A and B are shown apart, each in its own frame.
Chain A
């Protein structure tokens, strides 16, 4: 059950890549700039229509996290250096993002 996945290990792979090893031993790499553009918080996405309310291109390539912290047993919160720290990324969402990155054809 993907919802009961946990994180075995989390680390910084290079200056803009976050690496997560999941409890099922799958490894995911995330571009932190892309993650900022995909922020799921209520000020970036309309809660009911699910429409993204910010323009991804408005986010600079230079944006970086300050810190990445666990939230409960199911999510992590990224505090970005552009003063944006409301994004709570559920493990479920991160796995979906990493899957879509691996299979760009499947969206």
Chain B
């Protein structure tokens, strides 16, 4: 509020000294520099978010380019921009357009340039052990990001139990003349499963070099095109296969899925250490089957004790992105191929997954900003 007052008086002072001075781009910028992005904690002008300013008499039109279409504070920022513009003396009308350009790593290794060159962020959805709700999370995260307008893909890389086809009823890829596979889509979300590259009649578990070979193939021979987010459903655990995928795909960040039980936490630690070793930042932890909303009293019940994910957060300094309640309908939705975020928007699990998607997008934006300034690695020898 203090800043707000200062800029207003500055603008007024200018106005008083030179009568009827026209509002310039600088006036608009100085007013908008009072709007702070709450996540990046910096004003939207110095963040370079203002891409266009048009001044037409008493009317000002600006375009604000956010770092993700999934920005949870989009409406708030829009309102603040309008208020700031209206506060400029002589301005009666403010038109604020919100757009977005997802920031991401642009450079990819040559062997996957054709395949993944247009993908801005690759998010690994991983877990220390199986059956924790990882695939359910990967699919619902993808749908939630897509709902807010992002271009999204899902890569089901779980060699032990690929489940994407069953969970979404997606069709088969099309092969183009140059040997690249074009992913089939559901609701504009591009989908590829390792199962599409495996002879389904042989229901064998893929192992070792065979699995690595197939992973290599589907990472380099799928034409993903332009994507804001590619979600990879990892095989559970922290073995060779997980390392192979992380070495082949330039993963931007990882999300770790866990359940609240104490025994699960040791596995989460292993998963976080694995990504540390690989120098892949961990965005945060999603705790599934966290609590259960009782039909009769509508309060939360914790079945497994409280604060498992919070303990991880304390020890590793990574945020808890969301707590997903126990929701029997999730299993039903997975069987029918209807992700809950898309088909039961008011369900508490769907709301929790929407929040998780927004948090992922938000933390990724922060990560890109931070990584431009922070030391990624250091070793200080004490003298």
A contacts, CB < 8 Å to B: 1, 3-12, 15, 23-24, 32, 40, 47, 64-76, 88, 90-93
Contact = CB atoms under 8 A, between A and B. Distances in A.
A70 B377 contact: yes
Given A3-B317, A8-B374, A68 B363 contact: no
Given A3-B317, A93-B317, A70 B366 contact: no
Contacts, number: 90
Contact of A6 (B276, B318, B373): B373
A24 B366 CA distance: 12
Interface in B22-67: 39, 41
Given A67-B382, A74-B282, 5 more contacts: A4-B363, A10-B378, A68-B380, A70-B376, A72-B276
Contacts of A4: 363, 366-367, 370
Contacts of A1: 39, 41, 319, 363, 366
A69 B317 contact: no
B382 A68 contact: yes
Interface of B: 39, 41, 272, 275-276, 279, 281-282, 311, 314-319, 363, 366-367, 370-371, 373-383
A52 to B, nearest CB: 15
A91 B378 CA distance: 14
Contact of A90 (B281, B315, B363, B375): B315
B381 A9 contact: no
A91 B370 CA distance: 13
11 contacts: A1-B41, A4-B363, A4-B370, A6-B370, A10-B375, A12-B382, A47-B311, A65-B380, A70-B377, A72-B272, A74-B318
Contact of B383 (A9, A12, A72, A93): A12
A48 B282 CA distance: 23
Contacts of A71: 276
B38 to A, nearest CB: 9
Given A4-B367, A4-B370, A9 B316 contact: no
Nearest to A66: B382
Contact of B380 (A12, A74, A88): A12
A90 B366 CA distance: 18
A24 B373 CA distance: 10
A102 B287 CA distance: 34
Contact of A91 (B315, B317, B379): B317
B370 A5 contact: yes
A75 B370 contact: no
* Best-surrounded residue of A1, A90, A93 (most CB of chain B within 10 A): A1
A92 B312 CA distance: 12
A5 to B, nearest CB: 7
Contacts of A68: 378-380, 382
Contacts of B381: 66-67
Contacts of B374: 6-8, 23, 73
Contacts of A90: 314-317
B375 A70 contact: yes
A23 to B, nearest CB: 5
A73 B281 contact: yes
A11 B317 CA distance: 22
B135 to A, nearest CB: 25
A23 B368 CA distance: 13
B375 A72 contact: no
B375 A7 contact: yes
Given A5-B370, A6-B374, A70 B319 contact: no
Contacts of B367: 4
Contacts of A32: 382
Contacts of A69: 378-380
B256 to A, nearest CB: 12
